Amino acid sequence: MALSVIVLAAGQGTRMNSTKPKVLQQLAGKPLLHHVLLTAQQLVPEQILVVCGYRGEELQKACQEFKVDWVWQTEQRGTGHAVQVAYPDIVANNRVLVLYGDVPLISTATLKNFINSTPADALGILTAQVAKPQGLGRIIRDSNNKVIHIIEHKDASPEQQQITEINTGIYLIPQRHLAAWLANLKPQNSQQEYYLTDIIALAVNDKVAISDCSIADEIEITGVNSQQQLAMLERQYQLTLAQQLLEHGVKVYDPNRLDIRGVVNAGKDCSIDVNVVFEGTVVLGDNVQIGANVFLKDCVVESDAVILPFSMLDNVVVGIGAQVGPFARLRPGTRLHAQTKVGNFVEIKNSNIGVGTKVNHLSYIGDAQLGSSVNIGAGVITCNYDGAHKHQTIIEDEVFIGSNCELIAPVRVGKGATLAAGTTLLKDAPPGGLTLTKKMLTSILDWRRPTKAKASQTGEK
Ligand code: UD1
Ligand code: CA
């Protein structure tokens, strides 16, 4: 039997106290809804229907990369009502897996196991034992331990509130039973909503088997209803990601002070100091060292490279054995070849830095091609922008550029050339020789530095 997935995502999420729709709040750098859709895709279903309502256009825009069909629930009258509006679009005789847009970390493995363990004609329900069941629907069983009902926290008696087995909100429903059950939902509860949970009792009434499957890992079924819950889930999730790196052999100085908002692939013997943030896809070779407070987004850092503290790298390739920072800012399109050195307060963008080249202090290098074994002195600036266009600077192998030079692009410095300190390079420098701006240096010998007059001399008190 083919699978249809319905993701419920129409609610506003009032308890978040935010103007953003709840399912667009970010967990580990991705909207909650993206986590759920990525997992749903892994199941290769025949269709994915997403129920949207509150700021639905924003949801659709934020999920353009996903192949899903959108269903509008203009008025949010409960989880049962959300499935009612999706019902006409469900392929006949499929199995219908219901997921919630605000339960982001449910895993593909858990769902596959749930689907495989649920008989084709049964109503499957995913449950969990939790320490703090407050606010969640409770599982009611009969004397034979069969699930017969779900009662929401708000509707539960004090005895029922003691139950620690909860409804994760994830069900597998045979489509052919669904129409009748949905038609029988009644908003007779404290919230006056159409609860999807009521289909359990309806299935029992129709003598359809209920197949319950329990999940142990609480992180997978944690729903996000408040900023507190989101922050706690973020920390728990980050800890599991840090643990994966530790298991892989990476030295993580403090697993509680690392943030991975994307994917990190690390080789052998890498180390990551505290407060490092990774975004997008980051690949580390072997024996890479990342210092404290480093931010890396979409980078490749090759083996034996060292990134010293407080450096920020975005879309950068760092070559073998290179050293970056502290306090370096490397912007998109920067390629550092092997054994390069980029030091403090250096900004580089869209540039190639050749093998063994050093840019050690206080420089701006933009739209430049630097050869190998070049030395860039302190305070060197490539003036790449004329107010309208960007221009290239080419610096050939073994060039030495003295401190505080300005290179007015487009300009080329020939192989082995030397620029004296303070040169403003307005045209190409030939290879080999010394290029300098001739300035007159004068000393005025009878000059006196101004001094402050003493109070006693001016009569001031
Ligand atoms: C729901 C379950 C509860 C379960 C819990 C697990 C019901 C009645 N209760 O409660 O048993 O323990 O999830 O997390 O189902 N939504 C819509 N349209 C609506 C209402 C909700 O699309 O009209 C969406 C929300 O955007 C959200 C999801 O459904 O993504 C769950 O809704 P929410 O109001 O958070 O339900 P809970 O109170 O958490
Ligand atoms: Ca919820």
Confidence bin at 458 (pLDDT 50/70/90) = low
**pLDDT tens for each residue of 26-49:** 999 999 999 999 999 999 999 999
Confidence bin at 439 (pLDDT 50/70/90) = confident
Give the Cα separation of 362 and 381 in Å (integer): 9
Q: Assess whether the C-beta atom of 136 lies below 6 angstroms from ligand 1.
A: yes
Is residue 461 predicted with pLDDT exceeding 60? no
Please name the helix (run of DSSP H) or strand (run of DSSP E) that holds residue 347, with its range, or none.
strand 346-349
| pLDDT-wise least confident of 85-89, 95-99, 392-396, 456-460 | 456-460
Q: Assess whether the C-beta atom of 152 lies below 6 angstroms from ligand 1.
A: yes
Give the Cα separation of 295 and 91 in Å (integer): 46
pTM for this prediction: 0.91
- In the reported structure, the alpha carbon of residue 89 is separated from the centroid of ligand 1 by a whole-number distance in angstroms of 21
Query: Which residue from 100, 129, 139, 163 has its CB within 8 A of the most atoms of ligand 1, so it is best to mutate?
Result: 100
Q: Assess whether the C-beta atom of 56 lies below 6 angstroms from ligand 1.
A: no
* 167 Cα nearest atom in ligand 1: 12
Q: Assess whether the C-beta atom of 294 lies below 6 angstroms from ligand 1.
A: no
Residue type, 198: D
Q: HEC string of 120-168?
A: CCCEEEEEEECCCCCCCCEEEECCCCCEEEEECHHHCCCCHHHCCEEEE
Q: Assess whether the C-beta atom of 150 lies below 6 angstroms from ligand 1.
A: yes
Residue type, 3: L
* 10 Cα nearest atom in ligand 1: 22
* 191 Cα nearest atom in ligand 1: 8
Mean pLDDT for the stretch of residues 254-260? 98
Domain boundaries, the chain: 3-221, 227-435
* 135 Cα nearest atom in ligand 1: 38
Give the Cα separation of 161 and 284 in Å (integer): 49
Percent of the chain topping pLDDT 90: 95
361 annotated active-site:
yes
Mean pLDDT for the stretch of residues 241-248? 98
- In the reported structure, the alpha carbon of residue 452 is separated from the centroid of ligand 2 by a whole-number distance in angstroms of 72
Identify the residue whose tokens are 């009612």.
84
Confidence bin at 96 (pLDDT 50/70/90) = very high
Q: Which of these, 356, 43, 58, 77, lies nearest to 194 by C-alpha position?
A: 77
Give the Cα separation of 297 and 294 in Å (integer): 10
Q: Which of these, 196, 172, 176, lies nearest to 185 by C-alpha position?
A: 196
Mean pLDDT, the chain, rounded, equals 96
- Which fold, 227-435? UDP N-Acetylglucosamine Acyltransferase; domain 1 (2.160.10)
Ligand nearest to the CA of 199: 1
Query: What confidence score (pLDDT) does residue 324 get?
Result: 99
Query: What confidence score (pLDDT) does residue 36 get?
Result: 98
Mean pLDDT for the stretch of residues 57-79? 97
Burial environment of residue 218 by CB neighbours within 10 A (0 to 12, 13 to 18, 19 or more):
middle
**pLDDT tens for each residue of 349-374:** 999 999 999 999 999 999 999 999 99
Residue type, 152: E
Tokens of 5: 């997935």
Is residue 224 predicted with pLDDT exceeding 80? yes
Q: Is the fold of 3-221 the same as that of 227-435? A: no
Burial environment of residue 14 by CB neighbours within 10 A (0 to 12, 13 to 18, 19 or more):
exposed
Confidence bin at 457 (pLDDT 50/70/90) = low
Confidence bin at 193 (pLDDT 50/70/90) = very high
- In the reported structure, the alpha carbon of residue 168 is separated from the centroid of ligand 1 by a whole-number distance in angstroms of 10
Is residue 438 predicted with pLDDT exceeding 90? no
Query: What confidence score (pLDDT) does residue 279 get?
Result: 98
Q: Which of these, 397, 392, 406, 393, lies nearest to 435 by C-alpha position?
A: 406
Catalytic residue among 149, 177, 361, 391: 361
Query: What confidence score (pLDDT) does residue 118 get?
Result: 98
Q: Assess whether the C-beta atom of 195 lies below 6 angstroms from ligand 1.
A: yes
| Total residues belonging to the chain | 461
Q: Assess whether the C-beta atom of 133 lies below 6 angstroms from ligand 1.
A: no
Is residue 459 predicted with pLDDT exceeding 80? no
Residue nearest to atom 29 of ligand 1 (CA): 8
Query: What confidence score (pLDDT) does residue 412 get?
Result: 98
Give the Cα separation of 137 and 180 in Å (integer): 23
**344: which residues sit within 8 A by CB, 6+ positions away?**
325, 326, 327, 328, 360, 361, 362
Mean pLDDT for the stretch of residues 154-158? 96
Q: Which of these, 157, 223, 236, 238, lies nearest to 15 by C-alpha position?
A: 223
Residue nearest to atom 31 of ligand 1 (CA): 100
Give the Cα separation of 312 and 328 in Å (integer): 6
Mean pLDDT for the stretch of residues 380-398? 97
- For domain 3-221, the CATH architecture is Alpha-Beta Complex (3.90)
